[in-house]
């Protein structure tokens, strides 16, 4: 059975203006690879209702899972929950279970659960809450759309709680070999190898260091014996100098 | 006149598998902000012909410019040039001007211009070459689609040559203020400020450091006097403790 597929949607003006460098995509990619869910596509959109709605519909329909990051805080530019509800045709309002989580949190910290903070309890009908062990305000899964925070520590904590609840596939195994020759020298035999192992992904990632042109060849696949076989062929094609 | 809009397309399995962390999106975002081109959306797709074609068509149609990175080297997984030609209905083959550039480069370095390397001279009909001062193999602009390398040093060098040839707009100006109070405390007055300055973008980016909850408030816009006015209001709303 093929692995489940996934997409990611990063929401935030600050990424597109260059103010902030996104970190969540790279973390999600590594975690999904580990559990055998294939990340096929990622998108970044601004804090714009229509842009979020369109991306949620397109990516949620095309893949088994859609993971979002960003836009679920208490300020006016946090509009992800409402946009996701709109995209999936779900009603949204302050929900009692989420409000209780926030009330308990702010009672502990001594801060007031004011209107702004209460916005973080706006959860679509039918959604399952995602635990936030860091700052309490929960994420949620609505159908196959998993809505999480943009702050990397919180995104990572939410994902750590969510992933064990999802059904993964065969983890993608990978092996790599560094070859100190230019890609142009090795491209033809490499293409032959890739053609002989159509069930594997054979990637070539060039580098240039201290005047040396080289490439890291990465062979990926779910079947460890096949990856071993391809890696053996690769090593025989390009013995160390 | 509104600023030109742009999108970015990052092409590469290695980003989606988590092997490599993309660096080009952040660099492009900063450079476009500097020259007054609004980056509205970014996507990452794998080395898959159909996925690249679909993304090039969607993003190239929706925006004034589309910048791509990745997939223009000599190996079998470098398929961007052909996919972009296909997406825009252009013929593609080895082009004499690009071949001459490669021939001169390899004559200098003493390497052979073999079939694999010659693939890097495959340039769509009608495209304008983008100079590669690092490793010679050119990028190209086909209509409003600008195709560049994935290796960050080469991407940055190509972009540095390309950007002065594009018409920008008013550079996006930004000022920021760090407020050492939780977002939930400041959200209501902040929403009022954003409503009073609908021509500006008012973003709130929370942080948590040494037990302090705070937020960096970033005000962005093309009109410096308006940004100043909004920043003055913000500072008056939240005087330093």
Span A146-175, pLDDT tens digits:
999 999 999 999 999 999 999 888 888 999
Which part of chain A is CATH 3.30.70? 173-237
Give CA separation, A74 vs A71, A78, A147, B2, in Å.
9, 6, 15, 30
Q: Considering only CB atoms, which chain A residues are within 8 Å of B32?
A: 18
The confidence band for B1, taking pLDDT boundaries of 50, 70 and 90, is confident
3-state secondary structure of A15: helix
The confidence band for A210, taking pLDDT boundaries of 50, 70 and 90, is confident
Q: How far apart are CA A178 and CA B209, in angstroms?
A: 40
The confidence band for B201, taking pLDDT boundaries of 50, 70 and 90, is very high
Superfamily of segment(s) B5-165: MoaB/Mog-like domain (3.40.980.10)
Shortest Cα distance, chain B CAs vs residue A183, angstroms:
6
pTM (global) more than 0.90 = yes
Shortest Cα distance, chain A CAs vs residue B90, angstroms:
25
Average pLDDT (A219-223) is 91
The structure tokens 């969540």 sit at: A24
pLDDT in tens, B208-227: 887 788 999 999 998 999 99
Average pLDDT (B95-110) is 96
pLDDT score of A216: 93
B74: contact with A, CB 8 A cutoff: yes
The confidence band for B165, taking pLDDT boundaries of 50, 70 and 90, is very high
| Chain A (82-141) residues lying within 8 Å, Cβ to Cβ, of chain B | 111, 114-117, 119, 134-135
The residues near B209 (Cβ < 8 Å, ≥ 6 apart) are none
How much is the mean pLDDT over chain A?
95
Interface size A-B, in CB pairs within 8 Å, comes to: 194
Mutate to test the interface with B, among A61, A184, A218 (most CBs of B within 10 A): A184
Q: Residue A241: is its pLDDT beyond 90?
A: no
Average pLDDT (A199-203) is 93
The confidence band for B136, taking pLDDT boundaries of 50, 70 and 90, is very high
Shortest Cα distance, chain A CAs vs residue B138, angstroms:
15
The residues near A135 (Cβ < 8 Å, ≥ 6 apart) are A105, A149, A154, B208
Give CA separation, B25 vs A25, A203, B222, in Å.
12, 21, 22
pLDDT score of A222: 87
Locate the chain A residue with the closest alpha carbon to B194: A76
Which part of chain B is CATH 3.40.980.10? 5-165
Closest CB from A31, A44, A117 relative to B184: A117
B40: contact with A, CB 8 A cutoff: yes
pLDDT score of A31: 97
**A18: nearest Cα among B223, B58, B17, B203:** B203
pLDDT score of A168: 84
Q: Residue B240: is its pLDDT beyond 90?
A: no
CB contact under 8 A, A194 and B25: no
Q: How far apart are CA A157 and CA A162, in angstroms?
A: 9
The confidence band for A208, taking pLDDT boundaries of 50, 70 and 90, is confident
**B236: nearest Cα among B223, B222, B221, B217:** B217
Average pLDDT (A221-240) is 93
Take residue A214 and report the two structure tokens written for it.
Answer: 């080289």
The percentage of chain B sitting over the pLDDT mark of 70, rounded to a whole number, equals 100
Q: What is the CATH number of domain A173-237?
A: 3.30.70
Q: Residue A225: is its pLDDT beyond 80?
A: yes
Q: What is the CA radius of gyration of chain A?
A: 22
pLDDT in tens, A51-94: 999 999 999 999 999 999 999 999 999 999 999 999 999 999 99
Average pLDDT (B128-137) is 95
Q: How far apart are CA A45 and CA A9, in angstroms?
A: 7
Q: Are B92 and B82 in contact (CB under 8 A)?
A: yes
pLDDT score of A48: 96
| Chain A (199-238) residues lying within 8 Å, Cβ to Cβ, of chain B | 201-208, 215, 218, 220
**B71: nearest Cα among B60, B81, B58, B62:** B81
Closest CB from B29, B43, B182 relative to A42: B43
pLDDT score of A202: 94
Q: Residue B27: is its pLDDT beyond 90?
A: yes
CB contact under 8 A, B203 and A13: yes
Closest CB from B19, B151, B184 relative to A111: B184
The percentage of chain A sitting over the pLDDT mark of 90, rounded to a whole number, equals 89
Give CA separation, B12 vs B20, B67, B149, in Å.
9, 14, 11
pLDDT score of B34: 92
The percentage of chain A sitting over the pLDDT mark of 70, rounded to a whole number, equals 100
pLDDT score of B211: 76
Locate the chain B residue with the closest alpha carbon to A137: B184
Q: Are A16 and B39 in contact (CB under 8 A)?
A: yes
Q: Residue B52: is its pLDDT beyond 90?
A: yes
Q: Are B40 and A35 in contact (CB under 8 A)?
A: no
**A70: nearest Cα among A85, A52, A89:** A52
Q: How far apart are CA A204 and CA B77, in angstroms?
A: 7
Closest CB from B17, B31, B184 relative to A220: B17
Average pLDDT (B53-74) is 97
∠ at Cα A45 (A41, A50), nearest 5°?
A: 115
Q: Residue A211: is its pLDDT beyond 80?
A: no
Q: What backbone torsions phi and psi does residue B169 show, to the nearest 5 degrees?
A: -130, -150
């Amino acid at each position: 059975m093929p692995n489940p597929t996934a997409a990611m949607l990063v929401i935030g003006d600050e990424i597109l203006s260059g103010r902030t460098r996104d970190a969540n995509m790279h973390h999600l990619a590594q975690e999904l690879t580990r559990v055998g869910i294939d990340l096929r596509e990622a998108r970044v959109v601004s804090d714009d209702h229509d842009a979020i709605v369109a991306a949620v519909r397109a990516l949620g329909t095309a893949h088994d899972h859609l993971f979002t990051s960003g836009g679920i805080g208490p300020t006016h530019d946090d509009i992800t929950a409402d946009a996701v509800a709109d995209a999936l045709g779900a009603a949204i309002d302050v929900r009692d279970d989420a409000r209780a989580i926030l009330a308990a949190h702010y009672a502990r910290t001594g801060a007031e659960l004011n209107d702004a903070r209460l916005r973080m309890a706006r959860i679509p009908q039918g959604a399952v809450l995602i635990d936030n062990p860091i700052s309490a305000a929960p994420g949620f899964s609505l159908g196959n759309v998993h809505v999480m925070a943009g702050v990397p520590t919180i995104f990572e904590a939410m994902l750590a709680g969510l992933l064990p609840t999802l059904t993964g596939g065969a983890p993608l195994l990978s092996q790599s070999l560094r070859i100190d020759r230019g890609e142009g020298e090795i491209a033809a035999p490499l293409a032959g190898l890739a053609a002989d192992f159509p069930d594997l992904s054979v990637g070539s990632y060039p580098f240039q260091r201290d005047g040396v042109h080289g490439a890291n060849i990465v062979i990926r696949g779910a079947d460890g014996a096949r990856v071993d076989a391809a890696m053996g062929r690769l090593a025989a094609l390009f013995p160390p100098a």
